[in-house]
């Protein structure tokens, strides 16, 4: 038996970097472990530490998954049941959006932040393609930056065309294992290439017809980018369904609501229609930003 870290998942096979530094080996799950993981579409995720047993053909079997310190997960899509773990045992979760092409969506950011709050992951918001910004875009970006920084979140506005912003991102993640998540087309692969040109990852243009990105990353993969820094590149996603969060508990993961909720008349208040709701009162008084409250309502609707 030996130990390693999952660095790439292709669904049925995994690439595992051996902990002793002797290389990478292909591994798979035994049938029993696959059955035990039915609540998840991928019982083993990139970033997992695992114990393996060598097989005569030069591959290995995953015999044990070490307890995870944290993970980023979303609800399974395409009719599948359960949850999909995007990455495990990470230091920073990066959510990427773009100023334009495709359209900027704070709702995606808020869902990602809720997932980070729920799973004890430090988030970093990256708004890419700053070079495409126009006058009104900058006003909106300043408002968004002020909003999220006031809530205690780290946010970086950047363009891969500007080496100063690439340097800022590199400094913020140095020495960490990070995951990079966002819709297709926001420039995740271009950011990776800017951080570490030797990767030379394939990029694709945003569709002019749909204004949505095309998938260039097919499988999750942990990529070394130097200085003991690794980025888990995940396939672009258009949906980010939350897992194991109910309507009354959602406000626990909104920093601006967490303390207020204790002053609500009802302990299971959803902050949507109940009388004596301290959160709704704060929204009416302007201390909770309209964008955040609207995204909260949209998430509540999706949970019900």
pLDDT tens per residue, range 91-121: 999 999 999 888 788 999 999 999 999 999 9
Is residue 26 within 8 Å of 54, Cβ to Cβ? no
Distance CA 220, CA 13 (A): 12
Residue 207: pLDDT over 70: no
Residue 236: pLDDT over 90: no
Residue 35: pLDDT over 60: no
pTM: 0.86
Q: For the chain, give every domain's residue range.
A: 2-67, 73-80+85-233, 247-303
Mean residue pLDDT across the chain = 86
Residue 300: pLDDT over 70: yes
Q: Give the pLDDT of residue 206.
A: 44
Name the residue with higher pLDDT: 32 or 187: 187
Q: Give the pLDDT of residue 227.
A: 82
**Ramachandran angles phi, psi of 191, nearest 5°:** -65, -45
Q: Give the pLDDT of residue 211.
A: 42
- Average pLDDT over every residue of 138-142: 92
Please provide the CATH number assigned to the domain covering 73-80+85-233. Answer: 3.40.50.300
What does the DSSP assignment read for 114-125?
HHHHHHT-EEEE
Q: Give the pLDDT of residue 38.
A: 47
Please provide the CATH number assigned to the domain covering 2-67. Answer: 2.40.50.140
Residue 60: pLDDT over 80: yes
Q: Give the pLDDT of residue 80.
A: 53
**Ramachandran angles phi, psi of 77, nearest 5°:** -115, 180
- Average pLDDT over every residue of 8-20: 90
- Average pLDDT over every residue of 19-31: 91
What does the DSSP assignment read for 186-236?
SSHHHHHHHH-GGG-----PPPTTT--PPP---S-EEEEEETTEEEEE---
Q: Which of 101, 74, 109 lies closest to 241 in space, CA to CA?
A: 74
Distance CA 189, CA 148 (A): 24
Please provide the CATH number assigned to the domain covering 247-303. Answer: 1.10.40.50
Is residue 255 within 8 Å of 152, Cβ to Cβ? yes
Residue 37: pLDDT over 80: no
């Amino acid at each position: 038996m030996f130990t390693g870290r999952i660095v790439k998942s292709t669904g049925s096979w995994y690439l595992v970097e051996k902990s002793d530094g002797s290389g990478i080996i292909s591994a798979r799950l035994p049938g029993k472990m696959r059955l035990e993981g039915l609540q998840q579409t991928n019982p083993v995720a990139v970033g997992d530490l695992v114990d393996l047993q060598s097989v005569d053909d030069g591959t290995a079997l995953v015999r044990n998954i070490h307890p995870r310190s944290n993970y980023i997960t979303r609800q399974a899509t395409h009719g599948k049941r359960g949850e999909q773990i995007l990455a495990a045992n990470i230091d920073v979760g990066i959510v990427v959006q773009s100023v334009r092409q495709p359209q900027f969506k704070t709702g995606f950011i808020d869902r990602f932040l809720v997932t980070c709050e729920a799973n004890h992951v430090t988030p970093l918001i990256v708004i890419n393609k700053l070079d495409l910004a126009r006058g009104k875009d900058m006003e909106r970006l300043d408002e968004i930056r002020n909003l999220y920084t006031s809530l205690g979140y780290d946010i970086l506005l950047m363009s891969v065309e500007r080496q100063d912003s690439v340097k800022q991102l590199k400094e913020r993640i140095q020495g960490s294992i990070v995951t990079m998540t966002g819709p297709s087309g926001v420039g995740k692969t271009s950011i990776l290439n800017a951080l570490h040109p030797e990767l030379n990852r394939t990029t694709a243009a945003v569709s002019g017809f749909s204004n949505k990105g095309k998938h260039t990353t097919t499988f999750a993969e942990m990529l070394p980018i130097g200085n003991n820094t690794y980025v888990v590149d995940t396939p672009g996603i258009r949906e980010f369904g939350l897992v194991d969060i109910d309507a009354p508990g959602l406000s626990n993961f909104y920093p601006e609501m967490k303390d207020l909720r204790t002053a609500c008349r009802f302990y299971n208040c959803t902050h949507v229609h109940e009388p004596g709701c301290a959160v709704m009162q704060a929204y009416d008084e302007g201390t909770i930003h309209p964008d955040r409250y609207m995204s909260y309502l949209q998430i509540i609707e999706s949970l019900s």
